[in-house]
Amino acid sequence: MNSARDSTERRDTHPADLADRLQGLPLEEAVRLLREMPAGKASAVLSEMDSETAAQIARHLEPPLLRTLLQAVSPQQVADIVGRLPEELRSVVLESLSPIESSRVSDLLRYPEDSAGGIMNDRFIALPADITIGDCLARLHEREEEFPQGALYLYVLDADRKLTGVVPVRDLVFRKPNRPLRDIVKTEVVSLRVDDDQEKVADLFSKYHFMALPVLERDGRLVGVVEANRVISVIQNEATEDMQKMAGLSGEEHAYTPWTAAFSGRMTWLLLNLGTAFAAGYVISLFESTIARWTALAFFLPIIAGQGGVVGIQTMTLIIRGMVLGELPLDQAKKALRKELTLGVLNGVIIGLLTGLGGWLWQGNFMLGVVVGAGMLLNMMAAALSGVLVPIGLRRLKIDPALASSIFVTTITDIAGFFFFLGIAALCLRLFG
Amino acid sequence: MNSARDSTERRDTHPADLADRLQGLPLEEAVRLLREMPAGKASAVLSEMDSETAAQIARHLEPPLLRTLLQAVSPQQVADIVGRLPEELRSVVLESLSPIESSRVSDLLRYPEDSAGGIMNDRFIALPADITIGDCLARLHEREEEFPQGALYLYVLDADRKLTGVVPVRDLVFRKPNRPLRDIVKTEVVSLRVDDDQEKVADLFSKYHFMALPVLERDGRLVGVVEANRVISVIQNEATEDMQKMAGLSGEEHAYTPWTAAFSGRMTWLLLNLGTAFAAGYVISLFESTIARWTALAFFLPIIAGQGGVVGIQTMTLIIRGMVLGELPLDQAKKALRKELTLGVLNGVIIGLLTGLGGWLWQGNFMLGVVVGAGMLLNMMAAALSGVLVPIGLRRLKIDPALASSIFVTTITDIAGFFFFLGIAALCLRLFG
């Protein structure tokens, strides 16, 4: 018997661990190692890789080898990989599969990869309602190899293949063969639609603790099942993507991704940020004569920008996460806005007073303290406001808030912060200077 | 039959939805509403709340009412709630439960809440190996109510309650009663230890796609089972916590948390950041005479700090996420450091050149361009270095990298960036000014 500890020690032999190792290698090296493995192992390793890497490797394999490897991979995973291949290679692969396999993969390819249809398993056991439990068992015996160990439910369909109920496998254990199957069918079934977003699917599983949910076509036909273990990967990947997008990384980059693959995405983000940083610098340059007369103002630029950024990012993170977890319907969003503004004003007053006091004592200049404090207060209110409104606005515009919020929020807090702070300073100089 | 759509429309009736709503209300209001519900419903709602809120509410309920409500909640959830109560209230609640219930909850309370023992379900069906399948069925019949619909495995124990194998429920469906149970037992079982960290548990489920794993005491006795649907909540919560900690929020805050509960945590973070921002301001003040002679330097302060911050946060996010996903054993960490430094130098050269060129053209001063470009290059290398070393160093010191990395990284990039940039400027003024 293996303990979890053993499974860590077996790092080199489990396909999932081999997949991890191959993903950390340069592409050519990974392709070479995969070619050297026995086909069965190579196939298992391919199916454990993230589909992006698997697709990149697939492009470098000869079609006959690729075909051999994909034969042992589930249609769900073949679809994930094939969906990322260029059109012509995709047709070659599809034609090389058996007709049944090929049509199953084509069916799955119709659904976007981030929908319930895209993450469902198309293998499930379907039964008609009007049979006895004995008939049901006989059918299961015939199709024993299609009946996976992890199956929790059998699905009962009507003549149009519409779902009418489920039978927990557990209940079959206590069956009396001559009773109609109908007696043990549960008809209250929560189900997904093929076009449900995977974020919504994750939310349903997380909230209601399901182990498996059936997936229906728009017309009510049962076409697949989403299981909890698949949702785990979906949630891990979504969380990784959101976290990384918020920092301006691609959702697919990993610590082990070669720098060549990471370079262009990171550079794009840096260039975008460079543009906004120059805009903030330009705002400062508008107050050149003010700073020339009052150099100490420059010491407070990072303090203003830093605190504004912290408040903006805090608020934005909470709102984005709330939206992902489905905690922010419209009425809650208004409440969240009120909460963030309350905190913005309160924190602004306290941090403004402290910063002002700090500025006064440090530089021995009371007016500088007033300018810094007032600038900080206004900046923190702007930060709280933009931290709520930017992600909510982006969602309305159908732009992924995780992807674009942070650059807007930090730009707004930098520009607003410098403008308020230096503007007040200029005004003071004009009035009292 | 309900579609997923219906389950959204039933927002007001499902206990999980009611729990969500109550969590968005002030505590007194939530307690009042819970008191007004029928006991069965109130109990279900309590068990759907996050345990922190449930514990807060529990403190405001009279012990007899609390006792009634907790009777219908699983020992696992009672332990989660009771573990957050003050010692004396904890004893009151434990004494009010039935002796069996109380001892199960006490057993569960021995495990830290973020360990396999803390998230496991203590209900499972255990069987001896030396019985026939017929005996096994007879026993299951006797204990039918303990046999949950979602059960995938039965667990086979030896005389010392040590796990020797599992029986997939599915295999019982095809049983022949006179055969020994041993014939359908799987003895290759991956298992968890009670003290395995929940992050490691999540990692195992995510990587190897388990639906359920048995949990063993240090001496090998089976004490519980972790199921995939529970791991989903664990992963959602861990991701939320990591994301929020990185932004300086508490892991428990939600968009709907009242501002009064959010205030002190946020203020602590703002004060910490204010301290580091003043440190960065102090570094600038060391170059007061340089800025007084060359005001345009001030325009570039947010550009230097901004780009350094972006690179530092990108690198840090990737490393922290990689550590959470278990992708960064020591040899990979060295590789990641090399990758980030390569990117740091390369991006530094490109962004340094662009910033320098921008500075030269904007201000019409070639030397300013050189100063800005060189400062940027050094800053971005420092940012990449700190983005890798800070989270890895914190983990070595057993400090949660998600919690403390961002403040260190931004402080380092701000201070190093200003020091390099203004230092080079001061040097240039001395040499050529």
* Amino acid at residue number A333: A
Determine whether B144 is exposed, middle or buried from the number of CB atoms within 10 Å of its CB (0-12, 13-18, 19+): exposed
Q: What is the pTM (predicted TM-score) of this model?
A: 0.83
Task: From B81, B110, B139, give the residue that closes a domain.
Answer: B110
| C-alpha separations of A375 from A340, A371, B155 in Å | 19, 6, 65
Range of the domain at B401: 259-432
Is B142 within a domain?
Answer: yes
Q: What is the pLDDT of residues B169-199, one digit of tens each?
A: 888 887 777 888 888 899 988 999 999 999 8
Q: Above 50 in pLDDT, residue B1?
A: no
The CATH number of the domain holding residue A174 is 3.10.580.10
User: Which strands form B163-168's sheet, in the order they lie side by side?
Assistant: B126-128, B153-157, B163-168
Which of A212, A228, A244 is at the close of a domain?
A: A228
Residues B51, B175 within the same domain: no
Min Cα separation A30/chain B (Å): 16
User: pLDDT tens for residues B65-78?
Assistant: 888 888 888 888 88
The reply to whether B280 and B421 lie within a common domain is yes
In a domain, B73, yes or no: yes
Residue A357 lies in a domain: yes
| pLDDT over 90 at B386, yes or no | yes
Percent of chain A whose pLDDT exceeds 90: 41
Q: Which value does ipTM take for this structure?
A: 0.82
Using CB atoms within 10 A of its CB, is residue B90 exposed (0-12), middle (13-18) or buried (19+)?
Answer: middle
Contacts of A250 in chain B (CB under 8 A): none
- Same-domain check for residues A106 and A130: no
Position B278 confidence tier, pLDDT thresholds 50, 70, 90: very high
* B103 plus B141 within the same structural domain: no
Alpha-carbon span B79 to B73, nearest angstrom: 10
Nearest to A341 by CA among A371, A315, A307: A315
**Averaged over A353-371, what is the pLDDT?**
91
> What are the pLDDT digits (tens) for A68-96?
888 888 888 889 888 888 888 888 888 88
Inter-residue contact A226 to A119 (CB < 8 Å): yes
For chain B, the domain total comes to 3
- By C-alpha distance, which of A90, A241, A376, A260 is closest to B274? A376
Select from A169, A227, A202, A10 the least CA-distant residue to B212: A227
Instruction: Output the furthest CA–CA distance in chain A (Å, rounded).
Output: 99
Which of A14, A20, A208 comes nearest B327 by C-beta?
A: A20
pLDDT for residue B2:
37
Within 13 Å, how many C-alpha atoms sit on residue A83's CB side?
21
CB B422 within 8 A of CB B378: no
Task: For residue B352, tell me if it sits in a domain.
Answer: yes
CA atoms within 13 A on the CB side of B324: 26
Chain A: residue nearest B346 by CA?
A: A263
Tokens 């419903």 belong to residue: B41
Rounded to whole angstroms, the Cα distance separating B209 from A203 reads 19
- Measure in Å the smallest separation between the Cα of B92 and chain A Cα atoms: 30
pLDDT value of residue A280: 93
Q: Give the pLDDT band (50/70/90) at residue A174.
A: confident
Cβ contacts from A onto B, under 8 A = 402
Which residue of B1, B200, B347 is in closest CB contact with A163?
B1
> Do B135 and B213 belong together in one domain?
yes
Based on the domain organization, do A276 and A420 belong to the same domain? yes
Which residue in chain A has the smallest CA separation from B177? Answer: A173
Which CATH number goes with the domain that contains A16?
A: 1.25.60.10
Tens-digit pLDDT profile for residues B344-375: 999 999 999 999 999 899 988 899 999 999 99
Q: Looking at the partner chain, which of A24, A192, A298 has a beta carbon nearest the beta carbon of B335?
A: A24
Segment A64-68 long-range contacts (CB within 8 Å, at least 24 positions apart):
A64/A96, A65/A35, A66/A93, A66/A96, A67/A93, A67/A96, A67/A97, A68/A39, A68/A43
DSSP lists the bridge partners of residue A180 as: A132
B189 contacts in chain A (CB < 8 Å): 1-2
Residues B313 and B372 in one domain: yes
Region A92-115: mean pLDDT is: 88
Q: What is the mean pLDDT of residues B151-155?
A: 88
pLDDT at position B259 is 85
Percentage of chain B exceeding pLDDT 70 = 97
Which chain A positions have a beta carbon within 8 Å of B268's beta carbon? Answer: none
* pLDDT for B5 beyond 60: no
One domain for residues B305 and B415: yes
All residues at 6 or more sequence positions from A289 whose CB lies less than 8 Å from its CB, including other chains: none
Region of poorest pLDDT, from A115-124, B135-144, B410-419 = B135-144
User: So what's the pLDDT on residue B68?
Assistant: 86
A424 shares its domain with A348: yes
DSSP A53: H
What's the pLDDT tens digit per position in A293-347?
A: 999 999 999 999 999 999 999 999 999 988 888 777 767 788 888 889 999 999 9
pLDDT given for residue A10 in this prediction: 43
Q: What percent of chain B has pLDDT over 90?
A: 41
Residues on chain B touching A319 (C-beta within 8 angstroms): 255
A194 located within any domain: yes
Q: What is the CATH number of the domain that holds B310?
A: 1.10.357.20
pLDDT at A12: 55
Q: What is the pLDDT of residue B28?
A: 87
pLDDT band at A2 (very low <50, low <70, confident <90, very high): very low
DSSP A365-418: -HHHHHHHHHHHHHHHHHHHHHHHHHHHHHHHTT--HHHHHHHHHHHHHHHHHH
Same-domain check for residues A342 and A428: yes
CB spacing of A165 vs B300 below 8 angstroms: no
Q: Is residue B253 part of a domain?
A: no
- Gap between the Cα atoms of A181 and B425, Å rounded: 84
Is pLDDT at A278 greater than 70 in this prediction?
yes
Domain presence at residue B244: no
Integer-rounded Cα Rg, in Å, for chain A is 29
B251: pLDDT confidence band, cut at 50, 70 and 90?
confident
Which residue reads 């999980």 in tokens?
B16
Which of the listed residues A76, A110, A144 is the one where a domain comes to its end? Answer: A110
B7 — pLDDT class (breaks 50, 70, 90):
very low
Q: Are residues B356 and B263 in the same domain?
A: yes
A303/B229 touch (CB, cutoff 8 Å), yes or no: no
Q: What is the pLDDT of residue A223?
A: 94
Q: Which residue of B has its CA nearest to A253?
A: B318
Render B234-261 in DSSP notation, one character per residue.
Answer: HHHHHHHHHHHHHTT--TT--TTS-HHH
Q: What is the pLDDT of residue B324?
A: 84
Same domain, A201 and A315: no
Average pLDDT score over residue span A143-171: 86
- B349 located within any domain: yes
Which chain B residues are Cβ-neighbours of A345 within 8 angstroms? none
The string of pLDDT tens digits covering residues A11-40 is 457 888 888 888 878 888 889 998 999 888
Percent of chain A with pLDDT over 70: 97
∠ CA A33-A35-A36, nearest 5°, is 65
Query: Are A307 and B274 an interchain contact pair (Cβ–Cβ within 8 Å)?
Result: yes
Largest CA distance in chain B: 99
Is residue B265 scored above 60 in pLDDT?
Answer: yes
pLDDT-derived band of residue A393, with 50, 70 and 90 as boundaries? very high
